[in-house]
Amino acid sequence: MNTQLPDGYAIRPPTDQDLPALAALDAAHTRHAVGTALRTENEIRIEWKAPYFDLETDARIVVSERGEIVGWCEVYDQVPHTRTSSRLRLLPDADGWVAGWLLDWCIERARAGAKKAAPGQPVVLTQGAYEGEDALIERLRSVGFTHARSFLRMRIEMTSPPQPAEWPDGIVARTLVPGEDDRPVVELICDAFRDHWGYVEVPFEEELEEWKQWIHEDEDFDTDLWFLALDNDHEAIVGTCQCYPFSGEDRETGLVDVLGVRQAWRRRGLATAMLLHAFGAFYDRGIRNVELGVDSESPTGAMRLYERAGMHLAWTIHVYELELRAADEVPSER
């Protein structure tokens, strides 16, 4: 970047030693936006272990003259390099130029990755903005981003035990067995989300390796809250509901992180059964509040399912896209 920085400010890649400060920055950003911190320091540590992410090349922080980190961005760019995502975090009182500099850096980094995409493929960069982050939304629009999708955080506060799950005929449920179920459950997740907005087919072994980081190295990961639905006749996994015992800093709220059903098994009540099963597991642990995220335009009708289960809107994040290369456009050699 050639932009002149204000006196006393520095831009550099983050290091492992910055992790506590970055977790605090992330918490300050999301508390200001939605009222709570959404990621723990441990979650960020595991995210950094993704096989396609490198702190030196894929992240930048802005440090003030007092040594305070006031802004931070990350870019996640994996094969086939057609859909890159960025994440921007700012102190609530950070000067506007901080967001501008970091956003420009994300775009430049994404353009470098776009050169690796196969010819003829469109390439986009995505960036989220919470409802009410008007300054960030305006900045995104000013450099060419357009609104693509909105994702909703749904929530339920249970005042009594949830309705028992009614499993479709032939279905049995159990929890995940680490090591034994890693590969088949990741295969299921790929199948379940292949027709969802924004899905890109990435090398399976890379996807599997990323999930293994969470399953085997995340100290907060609880496989007793990862439920599998199996076709009893064929012993095949046909649905999955992976949950966390808490949501970010909120230790009184559980999180349904992944809820997916194989396409051939949809419309049989399986997703509803898994959700109610998860509600029951949380309730038995004394956790009365549960949240999950959903595409507001989900092709599976998930919104209606969650509303029927008693969930309501907690907050919204909007996803904006910047087209870096149109379909059939000749890749630039710059």
Sequential pLDDT tens for the chain (334 residues):
556 788 899 999 999 999 999 999 999 999 999 999 999 999 999 999 999 999 999 999 999 999 999 999 999 999 999 999 999 999 999 999 999 999 999 999 999 999 999 998 999 999 999 999 999 999 999 999 999 999 999 999 999 999 999 999 999 999 999 999 999 999 999 999 999 999 999 999 999 999 999 999 999 999 999 999 999 776 799 999 999 999 999 999 999 999 999 998 999 999 999 999 999 999 999 999 999 999 999 888 888 999 999 999 999 999 999 999 997 665 554 4
Same domain for 279 and 254 = yes
- Write down the pLDDT at residue 329: 65
- Find all residues with CB under 8 Å of 306, minimum gap 6, and list them: 154, 275, 292, 294
Report the C-alpha gap between 243 and 138 in whole angstroms.
Answer: 35
Same domain for 127 and 224 = no
Q: Which of 103, 101, 98, 97 is nearest to 75 (CA)?
A: 103
Same domain for 207 and 191 = yes
Same domain for 230 and 205 = yes
Is residue 192 exposed (0-12), middle (13-18) or buried (19+ Cβ within 10 Å)?
buried
- Write down the pLDDT at residue 38: 96
Same domain for 125 and 46 = yes
Same domain for 117 and 19 = yes
Same domain for 121 and 44 = yes
Same domain for 83 and 172 = no
Domain-located, residue 305: no
Same domain for 228 and 106 = no
Q: What is the CATH number of the domain that holds 131?
A: 3.40.630.30
Same domain for 34 and 139 = yes
Buried/exposed 256-288: b ≥16 CB within 10 Å, e otherwise: bbbbbbbeebbebbbbbbbbbbbbbbbbeeebb
Domain-located, residue 310: no
Buried/exposed 214-229: b ≥16 CB within 10 Å, e otherwise: bbeebeebbeebbbbb
The total domain count for the chain is 2
* Tokens representing residue 80 in the block: 């086939």
Domain-located, residue 21: yes
- Write down the pLDDT at residue 232: 77
- Write down the pLDDT at residue 235: 77
- Write down the pLDDT at residue 261: 96
Residue 100: in which H helix or E strand, if any?
helix 96-114
Domain-located, residue 300: no
- Write down the pLDDT at residue 292: 98
Cβ atoms of residues 85 and 124 within 8 Å:
no
Domain-located, residue 294: no
- Write down the pLDDT at residue 325: 93
Same domain for 42 and 129 = yes
Domain-located, residue 292: no
The residue segments making up the domain with residue 148 are: 10-152+319-325
Same domain for 172 and 128 = no
Domain-located, residue 4: no
